[in-house]
Structure 1
Amino acid sequence: MKRYTLALDLVDDPQLIAEYEAYHKKIWDEIAKSITDAGITEMEIYRVGNRLFMIMDTTDEFSFEKKSAMDADNPKVQEWEALMWKYQQALPMAKTGEKWILMERIFKLTDQ
């Protein structure tokens, strides 16, 4: 198993944040399938203010490149991603078109 943590911001508007959360109470079946088909075994998203934090547990075979290629070929994923851009905004350090940014772990209790 591999674990990844990622961050993204939402547009800082209470109504849009509420809509975004509503979409994530029950994501589309096709989106859940695309996530698991890519080798993601568990995914959680947390929010504080307009900042999002995602934890992804994956199989050892998972790769972001493979997931990206699968998503590019999936019209329903493309529809979902276009819809989510209404609510999301890139972090200041993001490259053009980049959404979720991989975070670097700086502490782990069991490494002490």
Structure 2
Amino acid sequence: MKRYCLALDLVDDPVLIAEYENWHKAENCWPEIKQSITGAGITSMEIYRAGNRLFMIMDTDDSFNFEKKSAMDAANPKVQEWEQLMWKYQLALPWAKPGEKWILMNEIFNLKA
């Protein structure tokens, strides 16, 4: 198992943030999105919010890699539709490359290390 932590901002608008959270409720998230996540080798995913900053924790199995996930997403029209919808709410971090959303974070402390 490998753990990845990623960050992304939301547009700083309370109405849009509420809409974004609503889309991510278990009953509103599209089943195709959940399938694309688990199909890529992601075994657990959590997203937390502080203000307009999002923090994602992903646990993966040995089959996961970002290149494979990216290729799978690019080939999946439903994932592309979801990602386009989410851009209404998401705001790339200032240091993100064009079109880049979630940014991989570097671990700087681990109590167990």
Same fold (TM over 0.5): yes
Structure 1 segments unaligned to the other structure (5+ residues): none
User: Residue in 2 aligned with 1:20?
Assistant: 20
Structure 2 segments unaligned to the other structure (5+ residues): none
Residues 58-94 of structure 1: per-residue CA shift (max 9 Å, x gap): 0012000000000000000000000000000000110
User: Residue in 1 aligned with 2:2?
Assistant: 2
Amino acid paired to 1:56: M
For residues 60 and 104 of structure 1, the distance between their equivalents in structure 2, rounded to whole angstroms, comes to 20
The TM-score with structure 1 as length reference comes to: 0.98
For residues 97 and 67 of structure 1, the distance between their equivalents in structure 2, rounded to whole angstroms, comes to 16
Give the 3-state SS of the residue equivalent to 2:108 in structure 1.
coil
Identity %: 77
Tell me if 1:46 matches 2:45.
no
For residues 35 and 110 of structure 1, the distance between their equivalents in structure 2, rounded to whole angstroms, comes to 28
Amino acid paired to 1:5: C
Which aligned segments of 4 or more residues in structure 1 are displaced greater than 2 angstroms? Answer: none
Q: For 1:76, which of 63, 75, 78 is the aligned residue?
A: 78
Amino acid paired to 2:62: D
For residues 71 and 83 of structure 1, the distance between their equivalents in structure 2, rounded to whole angstroms, comes to 14
Of Structure 1 and Structure 2, which has the larger fraction of its residues in helix? Answer: 1
User: Residue in 2 aligned with 1:104?
Assistant: 106
RMSD, matched Cα: 0.5
Aligned residues: 111
